[in-house]
Structure 1
């Protein structure tokens, strides 16, 4: 009987995996300018026709002194049928560091242009994601901001899988700038392999805790690394039988109504936050796959700056 149940669980695990792709720090106007006023990431997403949710920092629109050009870039993103809009605050502050008043003002400031663009489009700005996934330094601060977001009709958006692409991309771009294509390719391939391991890990964790795979929410960023490697990651995930779903579909999974037991400012996966047993959470975090070589390379790069 146990063997049959195990086989059935594995079959379910293999057949019913799904993920929503969410992209933070949109639009990357530096990359847009470097690529000849073209968002190659958006073009590649357009060709794949995958549903994505983007989380916007409107401060980016003033970068390089060309607000209208950057605003038009954001318009291009938001005009796509497959794109869901999200607010990521105006200037990407850490809520736990600046406190309720300053952060709530930044949230409101961060929706102005997006709301203007969306007016009459049939789309709504209803999702919010905390910068650094830092939801507040204690339960009181978290509760205050949760109430504020509800009053503003925002859905606070978690994530379950990510792989520090912000770190990899700095190493990747440095290698490209130095003309070291071999090293850049190595970094990109390491990123893909480790991300797939993270997916396997968090799927296994969800099966262990909920008896089935949950609808995962993957967090990545608008950067050079994803411009070049997100299509390959999508291909590899499709080979693993993942379905690509909208953010709304992912959040329809009852797991996203789970109690959040974590009352600190760290930005780790919500699967950990839903674990009420602190020791089980710590044990799971200790065995999460990591790339020590990449971490060391990043730390060395930071020391040399």
Structure 2
């Protein structure tokens, strides 16, 4: 993004943060979803992972915000198995839901349909019993990378398998690419670079404000109105540290956090979807492709170049980011 554009985005962020609360009857809805539990981080210290989960959940509860966390059970393997499972229990103890994000965070494009289904099934061995112990049923599934299967026959086979096994796919309509900011933020914390941490937080919030607006304008282009949104986030130190500010952005955008079940009652989610390309995209883009409609170009931008460069220095996995 050009410097002038980012100056405007930062100015808009300041205005959003100062905006007054809007009357309840004018509010829209948004479901907050957090991928890659127990955590997305480059930090291997288990205490760091435990703390970010505690802090994120504390802020969600303090703000009376419901959320769902999508689990990669491969992250609970190894010497820290018990503590990683404890983090999943923390989510349920806090009143949140858990969903399946596959065992290994692999794509159907690389595994093929049958192996992908096996990876989904393997990804519920811990989560399903935990949900049952808390009186809840494991029902929600999130595709890694938002890649749902290609070509159409493969996508449809996967969808049938998910339905037959009691799963419903969690869509995404707001995606601020938070994973790309999160790893440089971890790195800044590890290096005790407070100024860099502040810069990343500010840039992330400005980018997120822009993406929220793009999603709302895109919904209007498709449906003539805003819809109940589903926001993709990740379980990261960055989101734990910025959650209060993120919630201010949502309030300024007249979006009230609700459960994913509440958001999915919006009739927009019954829209026909024939998208079956390999690239994972938001549901707004899937619907636009199906309906032959064009989405706004303003705000449809990648994260700023300096963040991409920092991410590349920390994690050289840009072609297929490990935990997107």
Partner of 1:44: 59
Distance 2:27 2:88 in 1: 34
Would the alpha carbon gap of residues 191 and 106 (structure 1) be closer, same or farther in structure 2, given more than 3 Å must change?
same
Q: CA RMSD in A?
A: 2.6
Quote the offset at 1:287 in angstroms: 5.3
Contact 2:36 2:72 in 1 (8 A): yes
Distance 2:317 2:172 in 1: 32
Distance 2:310 2:130 in 1: 41
1:26 aligns with 2:37: yes
Contact 2:70 2:99 in 1 (8 A): yes
Partner of 2:239: 226
Structure 1, gaps ≥5 residues long: 1-10
Q: TM-score by structure 2 length? A: 0.82
Distance 1:91 1:228 in 2: 27
Distance 2:44 2:236 in 1: 7
* Higher share of residues assigned helix: 1
Contact 2:217 2:226 in 1 (8 A): yes
Contact 1:58 1:91 in 2 (8 A): yes
Contact 1:57 1:91 in 2 (8 A): yes
Matches within 5 A, 1:58-207: 58-63=73-78, 65-81=79-95, 83-207=96-220
Q: Deviations over 1:241-275 (max 9, x none)?
A: 32111100111111111111321121211101001
Partner of 1:8: none
Contact 2:201 2:238 in 1 (8 A): yes
Structure 2, gaps ≥5 residues long: 1-21, 319-324
Distance 1:110 1:229 in 2: 29
Distance 2:219 2:244 in 1: 25
1:214 aligns with 2:227: yes
Quote the offset at 1:18 in angstroms: 1.6
Quote the offset at 1:113 in angstroms: 1.1
Q: TM-score by structure 1 length? A: 0.87
Quote the offset at 1:147 in angstroms: 0.3
